[in-house]
């Protein structure tokens, strides 16, 4: 016990890195914590309103369209594609971070490029979904969908849907912009001169967080 | 800068984890399978009829919560690499996140309580919420709501 105490004391008495991570990475983690609480507040308020309603629209009915194929009655197929794209881009981001550890500039560029493409594809899908819903008459303050039991729905459903997926989409957009900046910096050899690719890791943390939030948005809006 | 770099590689065995591409693809497969499984459950629920659909839906939502938390765990632990960090750092992230448990419980409870209060004491609200919508079709899979096709009517 005494030994543990001294070990802790020496670890925190300065001159050492207690968490063995760089300052910026730790601060990125704490930023993501606060962002998680922001998203949590959004999703929990959605849950509160949904729990207080006697009925709610049926997500399987609302989200059943697919571009080009149109009204094919394939529930959740399109949003599954979006989920797949985002998870896939998370994988390519990990591979970019891995390549960065190996100081492999070409590898970082390749995987970061795929990640940017994945993010752009996700944003494209979301733009299509929003446009489609808009043309069905759904928007903030306007809800064309009836409740699952056939009663008139309030506009809470569309308000929360557009606010939360919009806030998430904004995060995806910022993530893509950050990744593009990382791509340019890598391309110019900034990280090679700096001697490490830790910046890619911080961008990666942010990108994975965006994927993480989508997992919860997906469950709350499309599955429940 | 060199310090940060050496700190990053301080634990020697950790280096293997960082470059373990197999682990990354394994995590990806787990996430993919969980998502596909969730979709099968969701689509299965809507294409089948149950004698007690509400109970089935509650059970299903429980399953979705567990699977979602499992996905979140894999993304945080493997993709974000938190599992391989120092224990103290993991705790500074995970202990504040535990606040969510109470956060969710309290607010959903509150929402449910509000529903019960209104249904008990607000007769007008209760009657109004039981009225069928004036839409041409009450609700049906595969049938289009006519008004949903004409945005002009709603704007």
For A223, the closest chain B residue by CA position comes to B42
Q: What is the pLDDT of residues A120-169, one digit of tens each?
A: 999 999 999 999 999 999 999 999 999 988 898 899 999 999 999 999 99
Per-residue confidence band for A69, with pLDDT thresholds at 50, 70 and 90:
low
- Say whether both B27 and B81 belong to one domain: yes
- Is B69 part of the contact surface with chain A (CB cutoff 8 Å)? no
Instruction: Assess whether pLDDT exceeds 70 at residue B81.
Output: yes
- Say whether both B122 and B71 belong to one domain: no
Instruction: Assess whether pLDDT exceeds 50 at residue A104.
Output: yes
Question: ipTM of the assembly?
Answer: 0.87
- Say whether both B79 and B112 belong to one domain: no
- Say whether both B1 and B38 belong to one domain: yes
CA–CA gap between residue A207 and residue A179 (Å, rounded) = 9
Please indicate, yes or no, if residue B56 is contained in any of the structural domains: yes
- Say whether both B58 and B74 belong to one domain: yes
Give one DSSP letter per residue of B27-52, joined into a string. HHHHHHHHHHHHHHHHHHHHHS--SS
Q: What is the pLDDT of residues B137-153, one digit of tens each?
A: 444 444 444 444 444 44
Q: What is the pLDDT of residues B33-78, one digit of tens each?
A: 999 998 888 888 878 888 888 899 889 999 999 999 999 999 999 9
- Say whether both B50 and B63 belong to one domain: yes
Residues on chain B touching A194 (C-beta within 8 angstroms): 1
Please indicate, yes or no, if residue B85 is contained in any of the structural domains: yes
Domains of chain A from N-terminus onward: 25-223 (1.20.120.80)
Q: What is the pLDDT of residues B68-79, one digit of tens each?
A: 999 999 999 999
Verify whether the Cβ–Cβ distance B72 to A216 is below 8 Å.
Answer: yes
Per-residue confidence band for A62, with pLDDT thresholds at 50, 70 and 90:
confident
Say if CB A163 and CB A217 are below 8 A apart.
Answer: no
Q: What is the pLDDT of residues B82-111, one digit of tens each?
A: 998 999 999 999 999 999 999 999 999 999
Give one DSSP letter per residue of chain A, joined into a string. -HHHHHHHHHHHSSSS-TT-S-HHHHHHHHHHHHHHHHHHHHHHHHHHHHHHSS--B-HHHHS--BTTTBS---TTHHHHHHHHHHHHHHHHHHHHHHHHHTT-HHHHHHHHHHHHHHHHHHHHHHHHHHHHHHHTT-BTTB--PPBTTSBPP-THHHHHHHHHHHHHHHHHHHHHHHHHHHHHHHHTTHHHHHT--HHHHHHHHHHHHHHHHHHHHIIIIII-
Tell me which residue has tokens 């733009």: A127
Closest CA to A65 of A161, A151, A166, A136: A136
User: What is the rounded end-to-end Cα distance, in angstroms, of chain A?
Assistant: 49
For A38, the closest chain B residue by CA position comes to B100
- Say whether both B31 and B71 belong to one domain: yes
Residues 48-67 of B with CB under 8 A from A: 61, 64-65
- Say whether both B51 and B121 belong to one domain: no
Please indicate, yes or no, if residue B64 is contained in any of the structural domains: yes
- Say whether both B48 and B11 belong to one domain: yes
| Total count of domains within chain B | 2
- Say whether both B13 and B61 belong to one domain: yes
**Pairwise pLDDT comparison (A79 vs A176), residue with the higher score:** A176
Please indicate, yes or no, if residue B155 is contained in any of the structural domains: no
Domain that holds residue B61: 1-97
Identify the weakest region by mean pLDDT among A201-205, B126-130, B150-154: B150-154
Instruction: Assess whether pLDDT exceeds 90 at residue A100.
Output: yes
- Say whether both B61 and B106 belong to one domain: no
- Is B103 part of the contact surface with chain A (CB cutoff 8 Å)? yes
Dihedral sign from CA coordinates of A172, A82, A112, A99 = positive
pLDDT of residue B15: 45
């Amino acid at each position: 016990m005494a030994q543990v105490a001294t070990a802790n004391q020496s670890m925190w008495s300065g001159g050492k890195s207690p968490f063995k991570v760089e300052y910026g990475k730790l601060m990125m983690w704490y930023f993501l914590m606060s962002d998680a609480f922001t998203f949590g507040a959004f999703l929990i308020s959605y849950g509160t309103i949904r729990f207080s309603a006697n009925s709610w629209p049926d997500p399987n009915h609302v989200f059943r369209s697919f571009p080009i194929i149109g009204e094919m009655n394939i529930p959740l197929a399109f949003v599954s594609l979006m989920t797949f794209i985002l998870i896939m881009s998370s994988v390519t981001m990990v591979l970019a971070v891995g390549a960065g550890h190996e100081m492999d500039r070409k590898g970082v560029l390749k995987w970061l490029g795929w990640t940017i493409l994945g993010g752009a594809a996700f944003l494209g899908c979301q733009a299509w979904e929003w446009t489609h819903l808009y043309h069905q008459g759904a928007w903030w303050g306007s809800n064309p969908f009836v409740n699952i039991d056939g009663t008139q729905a309030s506009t809470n459903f569309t308000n929360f849907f557009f606010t939360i997926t919009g806030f998430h989409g904004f995060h995806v957009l910022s993530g893509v912009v950050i990744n593009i900046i990382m791509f340019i910096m890598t391309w110019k050899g900034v990280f090679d001169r700096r001697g490490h690719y830790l910046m890619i890791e911080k961008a990666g943390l942010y990108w994975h967080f965006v994927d993480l939030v989508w997992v919860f948005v997906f469950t709350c809006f499309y599955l429940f | 800068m060199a310090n940060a770099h050496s700190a990053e590689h301080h634990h020697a065995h950790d280096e293997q984890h960082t470059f373990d591409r197999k682990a990354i693809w394994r995590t990806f497969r787990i996430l993919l399978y969980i998502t596909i499984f969730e979709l099968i459950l969701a689509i299965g629920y809507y294409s089948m009829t149950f004698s007690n659909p509400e109970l089935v839906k509650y059970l299903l939502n429980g399953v979705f919560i567990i699977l979602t938390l499992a996905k979140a765990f894999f993304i945080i632990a493997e993709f974000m690499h938190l599992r391989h960090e120092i224990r103290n750092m993991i705790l500074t992230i995970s202990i504040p996140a535990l606040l969510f448990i109470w956060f969710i419980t309290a607010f959903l409870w509150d929402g449910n309580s509000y529903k019960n209060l209104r249904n008990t004491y607000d007769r007008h609200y209760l009657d109004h919420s039981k009225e069928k919508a004036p839409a041409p079709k009450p609700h049906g899979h595969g049938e289009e709501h006519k008004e949903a096709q004409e945005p002009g009517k709603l704007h």
